[in-house]
A and B are shown apart, each in its own frame.
Chain A
Amino acid sequence: MNAHDLAQQLIYGLSVGATYALIALGYTMVYGTLRLINFAHGDVYMVGAVTGFYVAGWVSQWSIPIWLMLIVVLICSASACAVLGYGIERFAYRPLRSRPRLVLLITAIGVSLLLENAFQLPQLFGATPRHYPQQMTSELLLPVGFLGLTRLDVLSLSLSIILVGMLTWIVLRTRMGLALRAVSFRFDTATLMGINTDRVISFTFVFGSALAAVAGVLNAIRYQVDPLMGIMWGLKAFIAAVLGGIGSVSGALLGGLVLGIVETLLRGYFLPARYSGYSDGAAFVILILILLFKPSGLLGKTTIEKV
């Protein structure tokens, strides 16, 4: 395999990694404030894809340019998931916040199963995978000219970087960010300092869920929508968050990109062809190695902007 192919595999890895990063941010933010691994997050990503599917079916009947359609789909689906994320926190997690952490964790798994199974009902979505409208996918999956990069790859990479930049700005430069850092530093002291912790926690859920929805829409355009799509991607994104250092914003971006690249290179470069099907296992091997040798992750210790 020559340099060109290697570069091409790197590009595939980056575009997959960018969506891992978007989902990983949600895990990392919630963990930073609540010390909770929100296992329902992968399913919020799925709900984002499903909402986008319905909105896309609706806007594709208007005669507006594709980019405008995409913006409408992204905004609608991000808002829907923001509401969903808020609701999950408000009604499933908040009443149990003072209980042992295990209770919250099990509730998270419960919410996850509820969403997965509810969306398999034909009334909500059904079990059969479906595709976004042809006109939208075919336009967005056009190559941009070199290395097999598609418009969507460029879009998802730049969106992840912009959104991570935005989040970093919020965390470091705004009052909400200051409150976030305080809550993450010491939950009870932050409360004593007059910080409305409920609001801060709601914010992390709302923002994290909106990011997951963006990832959901991007992946649904690239692949397809199905009610169980969040399981594997959710797990991988969680691993990305741990890899980068859970609780760290830039770590989530780094972890996502590294995981995407490692996986793709294993699949298309290092592993012999007949074993490429086992590359999914690579993510879990990485998780084990990180937990054994550097539990704080790549950027876990050095970072200051803990959310």
Chain B
Amino acid sequence: MRWNFAAALLAVSFLMVGCKKHPQASDEIVVGEFGSLTGATATFGQASHEGLALALEQINKNGGILGKQVRVITEDDASDANQAVNVVQKLVNSDGVVGVIGEVASKRSLAGGGICEKYKCPMLSPSSTNPDVTVEGGKVKSYVFRICFTDTFQGSINGQFGAAQGWKSVAMMTNVDEDYSKGLAKSFKAEFSKTGKIVAEESYSGDTQDFKAQLNRIKQQNPDAVYIPGYYNEVGLILPQAKQIGLSVPFFGGDGWDSPLTLKLPEAQGNFYSDHYSPDDNRPESQEFVKLFRAKYNKTPDAMAVLGYDAMRVMADAIKRAGKADRQAVTDALAQTKDFPGASGAISIDAEHNARKPIVILQLKDSKAALFKTFQPE
């Protein structure tokens, strides 16, 4: 009996700890971050977080915002959309953050964005490109923003790139589990069909490990190139298997390819992908970022890192312009962001809460991504 009582007391005390509100200390500004630090797309979340941490360090070294130091609470969603909902709910409701930064993958930004809309907390996605992240059913979401281009733009640039390469027939492989992949495939198809022919539209699911059945069917169609709008972990499985079955045509894709793992993959060399930025970019903001990043982490930053860095700085800039750590004021300030000198390019938030930015095509060569071509937004 006494033990039961003790156990009940213990349980209640745990509950109380769990419910305890963290009131925002007046001498600091708290921002939330959610990302895939573990799980299937872990390198995205880790790179994005490294960029963000670098920006945070710089901001606090230069005196913080509005005379206060900035603290970022980082939550891992383990590359899982359900987990993303939970951690964003925690950030918004029990941590009382002034704004949320995240995610890389569109599916999880969509999930987290729903929570931020509900509780009227501004959310800034560094690198989710699916159109629905900021616009739902023709209506712009009031509290969700991003500092990158959308898949509609990226997919159509991929289509233009394919045409410019002189490819007449292209096969596609889409991940039916990912909004990102489906969005890219749709706008790629619309653009490329103007000049060439889509000869195969294969699909796979996120759990697929064996792609030989699909690749073999693509091989029958004898395409000039294969378009894979997927993530790096899938690309890492598809390219070696394509080589195994003797499908040796160029492969290309979107920014989901961007990962140290793709760079190192021997079968990926010579292939192309579109991205937000190239480390060869010689604008001063970009060069300064690359220098700082190399000094801190001793490696070359990828696009997810540069966008994580820019997201933190844009958020800080919005809080500064808002003049107070208030969610509504920060939301309004974010919407008015104009010509912010980001490391990934000048950032202006448009009426649909997206940033219109140039897009680069990179080619993998000797385990490095070399700048191949730049496309400007129309």
Contact = CB atoms under 8 A, between A and B. Distances in A.
Interface of A: 1, 5, 8-9, 12, 16, 120, 126-129, 131, 134, 137, 141, 143, 148, 150, 219, 222-224, 226, 228-229, 231-233, 264-265, 267-269, 273-280
Contact of A276 (B203, B209, B266): B203
A148 to B, nearest CB: 5
A12 B210 contact: yes
Which of B79, B200, B236 has the most chain A CB atoms closer than 10 A to its own CB? B236
B190 interface: no
Interface in B202-244: 202-205, 207-210, 212-214, 216-217, 220, 233, 236-237, 240, 244
Contacts of B63: none
Nearest to A16: B210
Given A127-B38, A273-B200, A273-B202, A267 B43 contact: no
A267 B78 CA distance: 29
A9 B216 contact: yes
8 contacts: A1-B217, A5-B216, A141-B240, A223-B237, A273-B201, A276-B217, A277-B175, A279-B205
Interface of B: 37-40, 42-43, 78-79, 174-177, 200-205, 207-210, 212-214, 216-217, 220, 233, 236-237, 240, 244-246, 261, 266
Contact of B244 (A120, A143, A275, A277): A143
Contacts of A274: 174, 201-203
B307 to A, nearest CB: 20
Given A128-B261, A274-B202, A268 B236 contact: no
Among all A-B residue pairs, the 4 with the closest Cβ atoms: A268-B213, A277-B203, A277-B176, A127-B38
Contacts of B43: 128
Residues of A contacting B: mostly: helix
Contacts, number: 104
Contact of B216 (A141, A228, A268): A268
B176 A278 contact: yes
Contacts of B79: 127
A279 B177 CA distance: 12
Contact of A277 (B205, B236, B237): B205
A277 B217 contact: no
A50 B340 CA distance: 46
Given A5-B220, A141-B244, A224 B237 contact: yes
Given A12-B210, A223-B210, A277 B40 contact: no
Contact of B217 (A129, A137, A268, A278): A268
A240 to B, nearest CB: 15
Nearest to B174: A277
B205 A9 contact: no
Nearest to A152: B244
Contacts of A265: 213
Nearest to B177: A277
A9 B213 contact: yes
A233 B216 CA distance: 22
Nearest to B79: A127
A280 B42 contact: no
Contacts of B203: 273-278
A12 B214 CA distance: 11
